Structure 1
Amino acid sequence: MAPTLWAPDGSNLVVHAENSVFLPALPDGAFTLIYIDPPFNTGRVQRRQQTTMVRSSTGTGDRIGFSGRSYDTVKGALHSYDDAFSDYWAFLEPRLVEAWRLLADDGTLYLHLDYREVHYAKVMLDAIFGRECFLNEIIWAYDYGARAKNRWPTKHDNILVYVKNPSGYHFDNAAVDREPYMAPGLVTPEKRALGKLPTDVWWHTIVSPTGKEKTGYPTQKPEGLLKRMVSASSREGDWVLDFFAGSGTLGAVARMLGRRFVCVDSNPQAVEVMAARLGDSADVVALPAPERAPVT
């Protein structure tokens, strides 16, 4: 049984643990917002275990997904399309099922990926949440780094947004920062001064290599990006969760905006960075590493 380290009236937490071990210790419906930024290519580098997928014509899979199809059908179709995907599914799917369980009825999931895996994850989330719970695909566009000369340079990430209850989710657009109009001459001076609400394309620079926000963690995401999500999809005092927490940007933004947070990562370097960044506002705890079966 997973140890219980968290209670709704407790402190903010930075947890050094395998998320698959820690997440079962958290209660159903505890979080208004979950943001996760998992490894983009985990399935491509893990040792692959051969499995046989059976298409179910009667819909007898373990869970019904979109168009009335079962998980077995979805897995089977993807397995035949891209044999390497079964590893990524096996890695990510149980964690996304946990995310669904942990979301409050009015809660929102933000899943941050890139072009290599986002189409697979969309199918996966449609099956877990239901297609009616898909809210947005946000494109985070930036302009930094190397540029390919033999194709269009890739300068964006994809963020899939799903809600637990499509008829009762929390979304406060009045709390979100506004942007300058791209054609300010076409709007009134009052509108120019106010700015416009963001669309599903977010232009935002990466973390500056020389800026005060920089922690040195390689996959750190900018606070401005997370601030927009937290502002729109949670209230002051709500609990938010990141179980691939990395440098702890969600925790830093939650602290700034008066939310309460749980940040989980299995990487000792990530926990060290988060402890330095968030330790004055969070308890830092560690779970024993689970026993691992030998790879055969």
Structure 2
Amino acid sequence: MTKGFSWAPESPNTVVHGDNLPILRSLPDASFQLIYIDPPFNTGRKQLRQNTKSVRSSTGTRIGYKGQTYETVRGLVTSYDDAFEDYWEFLEPRLEEAWRLLADTGTLYLHLDYREVHYAKVLLDALFGRECFLNEIIWAYDYGARTKSRWPSKHDTILVYVKDPRQYHFDSEEVDREPYMAPGLVTPEKVARGKLPTDVWWHTIVSPNGREKTGYPTQKPVGILRRIIAASSRPGDWVLDFFGGSGTTGAAALQLERRFLLIDQNPEAIATMQRRFAEDDVAFAESEIGH
């Protein structure tokens, strides 16, 4: 990891370790076609995840396929604090920078849950203008614990705002398509092609046992980010995510031939991204801005 950080449109794909606000303030206006951010949800608790795996062992206590014995090996613990005394004092100046950094054809995707998304809508209406609101996307999933005292919460909300409603980029032809829920009501040609997604996305979370898993808390699926990036940017465009986390935005951008800048202050996030991009041409930098 190199000390010091500066960015230009000619820079390589880059991950920066540092406080995102002063880094954002150092970047030039209108530099990014797409900004996706998945900030902490202000749950008021510490987010914690530990990797585990099963290995064959003659002294293991678990019985598996064909009577083989296994033991569970615990791996790296990753965590971050998800509680703020004043959440909007933290997030508002970063959203102001996001507006400044978007290109005129650009789009912001802000990923939150039910705790703060309503306040975010009011703030972004004021910051961008209500005419710049494009969509409220509901990402629905069906996994995890279920309460019996209320309706279980099984969705996140992604607010979508454009910089200029007269010239924003959106390419529905590039978006992945979904199976029809009632294929018997449409032609075979339509069934074969699939339908465009609506503003409700049914998509599984990252499987705890899948290849995509990095072990980082709150990791989002590549499929969600691929859909966003494909729709609202073009090959070669710059994508910014200043809550980089596990690096899913960068992974999807690489698949779709976009360029990316990811920022995160958490050393565990940086370590996760270093492992994830170990075989890719990605620069890692330690920001000294604001130190």
Offset of residue 89 of structure 1? 1.7
Task: Kindly provide the CA deviation profile for residues 227-279 of structure 1, in whole angstroms up to 9, marking residues without a partner as x.
Answer: 00000000000000000010000000101100000000000000011111124
Which digits, 9 at most, give the CA deviation of each residue in 1:194-222, with x for residues without a partner? 11000000000000111111000011000
Q: How many residues align?
A: 250
Taking CA–CA contacts closer than 8 Å with sequence separation of 6 or more, which of the two structures ends up with the larger relative contact order? 2
Q: Residue in 2 aligned with 1:246?
A: 245
Q: Could you give the per-residue CA deviations for residues 86-138 of structure 1, whole angstroms, max 9, x where no partner exists?
A: 81221111000000000000000000000010000000100100000000000
Question: 2:125 & 2:236 partners in 1: Cα distance?
Answer: 30
| Amino acid paired to 2:30 | G
CA distance in 2, matches of 1:221, 1:193: 28
Measured after TM superposition, the shift of residue 281 of structure 1 is: 2.0
The aligned counterpart of 2:24 is 23
- Structure 2 CA distance for aligned equivalents of residues 9 and 228 of structure 1: 25
How much identity, in percent, do the aligned residues show? 70
What SS does structure 1 have at the residue aligned with 2:255?
helix
What CA distance in whole angstroms lies between the structure 1 residues aligned with 2:218 and 2:200?
21
The whole-number CA distance in structure 2 between the counterparts of 1:26 and 1:277 is: 25
Q: Return 5+ residue gaps in structure 2 as ranges.
A: 46-82
Q: Return the TM-score normalized by structure 1.
A: 0.82
Distance 1:87 1:211 in 2: 36
Equivalent in the alignment of 2:288:
288
For residue 18 of structure 1, what is the amino acid of its counterpart?
D
Question: Any gaps of 5 or more consecutive residues in structure 1?
Answer: 46-83, 292-296
| Structure 1: distance between partners of 2:25 and 2:5 | 9
Contact 2:169-2:233 at 8 Å conserved across structures: yes
Note the C-alpha offset of 1:283: 0.4
Taking the aligned partners of 1:207 and 1:128, their CA distance within structure 2 comes to: 32
How far did residue 288 of structure 1 move? 3.3
Q: What does residue 123 of structure 2 align with? A: 124
**Conserved 8 A contact 1:33-1:241:** yes
Deviations 1:10-58, CA, capped at 9 Å, x for gaps? 111100010012111211111000000001117x68xxxxxxxxxxxxx
After superposition, where does 1:271-286 map in structure 2 within 5 Å?
271-279=270-278, 280-286=280-286
Structure 2 residue identity aligned to 1:106: T
2:68 is matched with none
1:237 matched residue in structure 2? 236
1:1-296 map, 5 Å? 5-41=6-42, 87-279=86-278, 280-288=280-288, 290=290
By percentage of residues, which structure has more strand? Answer: 2
1:174-194 superposed Cα distances (whole Å, 9 cap, x missing partner): 000000000111111111111
Q: Secondary structure at the match of 1:270?
A: helix
User: In 2, distance between residues paired with 1:188 and 1:217?
Assistant: 43
- The answer to whether the 8 A contact 1:255-1:281 is kept is no
Answer whether contact 1:35 1:109 (CA < 8 A) is retained: yes
- The TM-score normalised by the length of structure 2 is 0.83
SS of the equivalent of 1:101 reads: helix
Tell me, in whole angstroms, the C-alpha distance in 2 between the residues paired with 1:110 and 1:192. Answer: 30
| Contact 1:4 1:25 survives alignment (8 Å) | no
Aligned to 2:60: none
- Given that 1:247 and 1:273 are in contact with CA atoms closer than 8 Å, whether structure 2 keeps it comes out as yes
* Cα pair 2:5 2:16 within 8 Å, conserved: no
Relative distance call for 1:191 and 1:16 in structure 2 (3 A) is same
Matched letter for residue 97 of structure 1: E
